Amino acid sequence: MPGLGASFGRGAATSFQEDMQNADCVLIMGSNMAEAHPVGFRFPMMARERGAQLIHVDPHFSRTSAMCQQYVRIRTGSDIAFLGGLIHYILENDRWFHEYVMAYTNAATIITEQYRDAEDLGGIFAGFNPETRSYDGSREAWQYEGHEGSGGRTQAGHAEKAESFSERTGSLDSATPPTDHSLKNPRCVLNILRRHYARYTPQMVARICGCSKEEFVRVAETVCANSGRERTTCLVYAVGWTQHSVGVQIIRAATIVQLLLGNMGRPGGGIMAMRGHASIQGSTDVPTLYELLPGYIMQPSALRDHGGLADYLKQEEVKTGFMANLPKFLVSLLKAWYGEAATRENDFGYNWIPRIDGNYSHLACTVRMLEGKMRGMFLFGQNPAAGAPNGRANREALKKLKWLVVRDWFEIDTAAFWHKGPENPDPAAIGTEVFFIPAAASAEKDGTFTNTQRLLQWHDKAVDPPEDCRSDTWFVYELGKRLKKLYAHSTRERDQGLLNLTWDYEFDHAERLPDGSISRIHGETDVAKILMEINGYTVADRQQVADFNGLKDDGSTACGCWIYSGVYPEKGRNRARSRKRTPGVYTSPEWGFAWPLNRRMMYNRASADPKGRPWSERKKYLSWDEEEQRWTGPDVPDFEPKKPPSYRPNPDSRGMEAIAGDAPFLMKPDGRGWLFAPMGVKDGPLPTHYEPLESPLGNLLYPDQRNNPTIERYELPVNEYNPPNDEFPVIATNYRLTEHYLSGPMSRFNSWLNELQPGMFIEISPELASEKGIEHGGWMVAWNRRGAIEARAMVTRRIMPLKVHGRTVHQIGMPFHWGFAGETVGAIANDLTSISADPNVSMHEAKAFTVNVRAGRLKGHAEIEPLPPAPWPTREESPETAKSDQPEGQAI
Amino acid sequence: MNEGLVQIATDLRDTWTRPEPPAAQEETGFFTDTTLCIGCKACEVACKQWNQLPADGFNWTGNSYDNTVTLSDTTWRHVAFVEQHDAATDSMRWLMMSDVCKHCQHAPCVEVCPTGALIYNEFGNVYVQQDVCNGCANCVVGCPFGVIARNKADGRAHKCTLCYDRQKDGMVPACAKSCPTESIKFGKVSELREQARQRVEQLHARGETDAYLYGNETWGEYSALNSFFLLKDKPIVYNLPEAPRRPAAHLKRNYLFSFMASVALTAVSALLFSGGERG
Amino acid sequence: MSSNSVDGRLSRDPERAPENQPFSPNSVNKMARIKGATEVASVCPYCAVGCSQLIYVKGGKIVDIEGNPESPINAGTLCPKGANTFQLNVNPHRIKHVMYRAPYSSRWERRSLDWAMDRIAQLTMEAREEGFVEKRDDKVLNHVTNMFSLGGATMDIEENYLIKKLFNGGLGMVPIENQARI
């Protein structure tokens, strides 16, 4: 997440779930943690039982809200106003942690004279180019004084995203930009911050968000009272923050709050990004993403001077801080992919890596599909026909494909799009060739998931997958082998990358299952070999490297994903498979492997004061051991282990030598947490309140700038945006229920979950229901320019109208788990959401959109028959089990 | 072939011999603390998984987030949801409570079972022996909590077993094991009762004075429950009886009433018949 | 208290004492079915909390999946979805063979895995041959943009790694995406 990356250096959750029990206050916003992550919610509950305050700020009173001592209802999409209000409150009431902020953040750094704030320019910052709708001029206008033009690179419109390390950490010519620690200079970051948030008063927060002034002040006071030397507050978010046209900026606002309060890198503090999929963190680290190579290395781009390897490394060079090591990581990646064929002479095969030349993000590709530009599609465990924004557009897009390969367990919505669905498709009119290749379940394969706290955990294969079901490594490996054969005789340069691709993952000996039997699967991959390649090894003698500090830029080492290096430090030692508890150590360092270098809490140097002493006994974690001359504590220091607090760099120091002994954010070129982000985000150096792309309201702060000026819109006949008028006066949001998962492929085929939540519903307030004549339990319709859905009405006070801008505004909420495949079927919430993209990560805005509602049902809508529920129990007795020990239900 | 013979021989032997009952163990039960329940329903699914129970059908009720409605022959843990709105403060409270068989110390279901299918096992839990139950359903009407139900397919009575099979191997029941927030606590009843008392004290000290225990001790005519609850509102709010009735406690009075009634009836009919003779 | 310890022995109301209960043979013999099963450590495939699970295998079949008490994250607990992992695996709705739908056809056909893999490899090659661009406006591209690979967040990192390596590093495909943006 660039929101975290731009402020701290890395884009992942900064701490680990277990540490939340040490919080004195947990502020949950943009997350329905109790419902979406019930087991993770154990830790806030433990904190609560130890006396901590839990606060939930959310449009919808959920099971999370029910567990918190404070619940504040806000309008969906108004989060920056609320967080900006917090920043204002902290600064205005002098509640910021002075010593922490002055030492560890860029509060005192002086910003260029060219900078103009959104407050000066009516809602946009200096450097904006209205033609490209992007901040082309930010490399000058947002920079540190004296660094104009040095750091930010060419802003290439919407093609490139802000997710790579070189992009988000930025680069500076020197790690010691000009500062004024007296804070007299009006261009100091802290003073700019004060001015930027001056109008985010409690009154303004109340007017924009729809909560009361008192509710807001109580939250602000609770958070401030539970931060500082002795106490810490943890902040939790999830897709309730990311799925907005300003998602990255909401998270940036949270980072500013946590930096000002001194909660980063400390026990019970930090920002927990709660991810939604078993390995969504992993699939970003080892990216199946178009603009990244493994380890957040930027995919080479034709829009930058990335012609040869040297050009690329010059363009992306980060002079100071840890990312100065980039050349080692990229060259080692090329060696891992192309093996012996990667030589210094051929730039280590750099030219075989494809260049990006535009936006190929998920939804941009959906639009390309709609335009007929895609021939084929591989789908691995994803369900865009129901799970992606604007479901209808996604289903239409599938019809334009020549072929589609679906890898899944069940006939999910997307696999069935050609014969089933709300539009009642006619198979005779759909030319897509569809393959359903059955997949193995996680219990049927070895492999690693990276969880929400960057923890790599290996799961052992328990049994063979049934019949033709196969793991995805089997599928990709097998496909690779067949393609290599098809191209075997090619001498064309463009095919040499494929032919030289190292591709040897078979078992050396027959695969043995845990019960001692021999696997019947032919050609299954030895997944440990893949993880060993990801870890990295020395080329000459094929020894595993201990960690990324052992990587070189001369071609002598290979490494598939540098941030994971250390997970497999020697043959036979898979740390992701380590399942040991360390008595008395709550960081559990031998349970799995947390990247980077098994650090559980990132930026933990900040848990000690500048001199290396704990801020307080109560919140001690890491400290400098003067005798041993090293950092000690319950975790791997996120710092050079022997760098003393007193270390100071020279102005011309490079790499890690440029990072001072009291600069905890070592990924950043100046080692500081960035309150003000001179680079790394594409829509402003400071978070600013904009209305959602679809909102019935204007922007109270900037009347002339309703939305984020840099949103990428896709105006298509199937993707119209709702106008900001009374046609669609109701604000809608969506969320998860504990009982289901995503768009349903992993829950709607399961009777034990279906009976708990058997159908789609819309939550609506008694006020709106009575206004529209909608009855509790009756049918209702919600519609907008993109679609219409019908669902049961759940009339509840958990959803309430708000007083916003002095008028009453209605909100509705709905789960998004249904579709047309499975044992339970129902309306697709995503048929109402739109395709759009925020400029940093191409995120759409499913958490805030507009609709209108009425009582009744839809006419002419396809009635979809659900699958008959699977017979249960399966009538198969437990093997090798006495009659008396069979499950009790087996008798029924 | 041989297996069939062995089975017949075993069945015959079992018919004529009574197995040695196991030795008494420390009594076990559940303490369900509703102040820690997040309403996730892990207990419902963990129970179905371990016991391989079918779903009860897919019926959207609109009753908050409760769609399994009640304990049944195939739902042995059930999470109730109660949405409360305080108009004065415009604040919401959402109570959640995982209901289960109460494993009464003096259980009416055991008292009314004519076949010996219902027993107190060595852990002091109330258990329906499926190989004995004849499906008479006396227990169904005997239970004041509506816990037991008869299954249409096999005709027998079913309810929570307190994972008897797991306990035999020293394992925690599936629901308690799965509960993410320790709302469901399993253990020795004596320890659970002490823990529960302390919990109430702690909550009262925190100002949550509405917290109290349900079934922690004998009340009215009813015995203590080995599976008891910490609640935050009146029992009726959670669909629990305020004062559960134990049919056996009314036997004497009911017998007396029947006796008096028969005497009265006899007298009346005697009167009528004598009148008839006269006529 | 209805049971208490007297001289180390447990006594109970006669009415409730085991010796006075008509125990059936099944009740007496009862054990947990996972006794003697092979225990395999796994991770829950649903959300990103990362709960450790134990899978019990008997006779080559999964008989039970529950939380791993050793885990510092879940300590043996699971949510309803995690508790449902057994039904996700052992599920009659699972499709266990290749299904193929020809263009404009109204039905699925059953095909062999080998046939399907060959056909997919062929189609991939054809698309790549059609779509490969070496240069545009003198800028090196060496890429293919007419095939789209979607998904990965529910999968292992090793699976993601092979997708990126083959499709991007091998074939030159740029459109490779997953759930991270939705």
The string of pLDDT tens digits covering residues A635-645 is: 999 999 999 99
The whole-number pLDDT of residue B14 equals: 66
Tell me the three state secondary structure of residue B186.
strand
SS (H, E, C) A159-198: CCCCCCHHHHHCCCCCCCCCECCCCCCCCEHHHHHHHHCC
DSSP letters, A111-156, are BPTT---TTTTTT--TT-BTTTTB-TTHHHHTSBTT-TTTSS----
Q: Which two tokens stand for residue C6?
A: 């007297």
Residue A50's pLDDT band (boundaries 50, 70, 90)?
very high
What are the CA-CA distances from residue A367 to residues A361, A671, B17, B224 (Å)?
A: 10, 40, 75, 65
Quote the CA–CA distance of A138 and A114 in Å, as a whole number: 10
* Domain coordinates in residue numbering, chain B: 11-243, 247-274
CA distance C80 to chain B (A): 4
Question: What number of other Cβ atoms are within 10 A of residue C126's Cβ?
Answer: 15
A777/B62 CB distance under 8 A? yes
For the purposes of burial, counting CB atoms within 10 Å of the CB of B26, is it exposed (0-12), middle (13-18) or buried (19 or more)? Answer: middle
The whole-number pLDDT of residue B277 equals: 47
Q: Minimal CA–CA distance to A607: which of A104, A27, A21?
A: A104
**Contact with chain A for residue C182, Cβ under 8 A:** yes
Q: Tell me the pTM.
A: 0.96
Of C3, C67, C74, the CB nearest to B24: C3
Reported as type and span, the H/E element at residue B190 is: helix B189-205
pLDDT in tens, A404-437: 999 999 999 999 999 999 999 999 999 999 999 9
Using a CB-CB distance cutoff of 8 angstroms, which residues of chain A are in contact with residue B154? 891-892
Residue B227's pLDDT band (boundaries 50, 70, 90)?
very high
B65/A34 CB distance under 8 A? no
Q: Minimal CA–CA distance to C85: which of C138, C36, C45, C144?
A: C45
Quote the CA–CA distance of A238 and C47 in Å, as a whole number: 12
Using a CB-CB distance cutoff of 8 angstroms, which residues of chain A are in contact with residue C52? 457, 579
> Are the C-beta atoms of C96 and C90 separated by less than 8 Å?
no
Please give the average per-residue pLDDT across B34-63, as a whole number. 97
Q: What is the pLDDT along chain C (182 residues), one digit of tens a residue?
A: 444 444 445 678 899 999 999 999 999 999 999 999 999 999 999 999 999 999 999 999 999 999 999 999 999 999 999 999 999 999 999 999 999 999 999 999 999 999 999 999 999 999 999 999 999 999 999 999 999 999 999 999 999 999 999 999 999 999 999 999 87
Using a CB-CB distance cutoff of 8 angstroms, which residues of chain C are in contact with residue A302? 136, 139-141
Q: Which two tokens stand for residue B44?
A: 């419902």
Contacts of A608 (CB under 8 A, 6+ apart): A614, A615, A620, A621, A622, A623, A624, A645
Residue A165's pLDDT band (boundaries 50, 70, 90)?
confident
The whole-number pLDDT of residue A350 equals: 98
CA distance B252 to chain A (A): 37
Tell me the three state secondary structure of residue A530.
helix
Place of tokens 């509950």: A45
A892/B73 CB distance under 8 A? yes
Chains touching chain C through at least 3 C-beta pairs below 8 angstroms are A, B
Please report the number of interchain residue pairs, chain B to chain C, with beta-carbon separation below 8 angstroms: 133
pLDDT in tens, A234-291: 999 999 999 999 999 999 999 999 999 999 999 999 999 999 999 999 999 999 999 9
**Contact with chain A for residue C48, Cβ under 8 A:** yes
Judged against a pLDDT cut of 70, whether residue A333 lies above it is answered with yes
Residue A78's pLDDT band (boundaries 50, 70, 90)?
very high
Least confident residue range of A146-150, A203-207, B13-17, C103-107: B13-17
The whole-number pLDDT of residue C1 equals: 40
Tallying the residues shown for chain A, one arrives at: 892
User: In whole numbers, what is the pLDDT of chain A averaged over residues?
Assistant: 96
Pairing relationship of beta strands A730-735 and A761-764 according to DSSP bridges: unpaired
The complex scores an ipTM of 0.97
**Does the domain made of B11-243 have the CATH classification 3.40.630.10?**
no
CA distance A719 to chain B (A): 32
Residue of B nearest to A737 (CA): B40
Residue of B nearest to C21 (CA): B119
Please give the average per-residue pLDDT across A318-322, as a whole number. 89
Quote the CA–CA distance of B184 and B164 in Å, as a whole number: 17
The whole-number pLDDT of residue A172 equals: 84
Calculate the CA dihedral of residues C10, C16, C19, C25 and round it to 10 degrees. -120
Reported as type and span, the H/E element at residue B32 is: strand B28-33
**Contact with chain C for residue B41, Cβ under 8 A:** yes
B52/A34 CB distance under 8 A? no
Judged against a pLDDT cut of 50, whether residue A679 lies above it is answered with yes
Using a CB-CB distance cutoff of 8 angstroms, which residues of chain A are in contact with residue B156? 891
Please give the average per-residue pLDDT across A190-195, as a whole number. 98
Judged against a pLDDT cut of 50, whether residue B278 lies above it is answered with no
Using a CB-CB distance cutoff of 8 angstroms, which residues of chain B are in contact with residue A791? none
Residue of C nearest to B10 (CA): C25
A409/C118 CB distance under 8 A? no
A34/B53 CB distance under 8 A? no
B39/A63 CB distance under 8 A? yes
Beta-bridge mates of residue C140:
C135
Q: Which two tokens stand for residue B84?
A: 């409360």
The whole-number pLDDT of residue B246 equals: 84
CA distance A689 to chain B (A): 28
Please give the average per-residue pLDDT across A34-63, as a whole number. 98
Of A307, A355, A870, the CB nearest to C92: A870
Of C36, C163, C172, the CB nearest to A380: C163
Q: Which two tokens stand for residue A781?
A: 């319709």
The whole-number pLDDT of residue B279 equals: 38
Reported as type and span, the H/E element at residue A852 is: strand A849-855
pLDDT in tens, B157-192: 999 999 999 999 999 999 999 999 999 999 999 999
The whole-number pLDDT of residue B196 equals: 98
DSSP letters, A475-525, are HHHHHHHHHHHHTTT---GGGHHHHHS----B-SS--B-TTSPBP--TT-B
A438/C98 CB distance under 8 A? yes
pLDDT in tens, A735-773: 999 999 999 999 999 999 999 999 999 999 999 999 999
Judged against a pLDDT cut of 50, whether residue A155 lies above it is answered with no
The whole-number pLDDT of residue A651 equals: 85
The whole-number pLDDT of residue B254 equals: 75
Residue of A nearest to B168 (CA): A885
CA distance B251 to chain C (A): 17
The whole-number pLDDT of residue A624 equals: 98
Helix axes A202-209, A79-92, angle to 10 degrees: 170
DSSP letters, A763-795, are EE-HHHHHHHT--TTSEEEEE-SS-EEEEEEEE
Cα-trace Rg, chain A: 27
The whole-number pLDDT of residue B257 equals: 81
| Cα torsion B189, B194, B198, B204: sign | positive
What are the CA-CA distances from residue A493 to residues A472, A504, B151, C138 (Å)?
A: 29, 22, 70, 17
A41/B41 CB distance under 8 A? no
Contacts of B274 (CB under 8 A, 6+ apart): none
Chains touching chain B through at least 3 C-beta pairs below 8 angstroms are A, C
The whole-number pLDDT of residue B270 equals: 82
Helix axes A213-225, A202-209, angle to 10 degrees: 120
Quote the CA–CA distance of A64 and A27 in Å, as a whole number: 11
CA atoms within 13 A on the CB side of B187: 13
A381/C59 CB distance under 8 A? no
CB burial of A746-769 (b: ≥16 within 10 Å; e: otherwise) equals: bbbbbbbbbbbbbbbbbbbbbebb
Chains touching chain A through at least 3 C-beta pairs below 8 angstroms are B, C
Please give the average per-residue pLDDT across A583-591, as a whole number. 96
Q: How far is CA A10 from the centre of its chain?
A: 12
Residue of B nearest to A792 (CA): B62
pLDDT in tens, A510-519: 999 999 999 9
CA distance A875 to chain B (A): 10
B45/A63 CB distance under 8 A? no
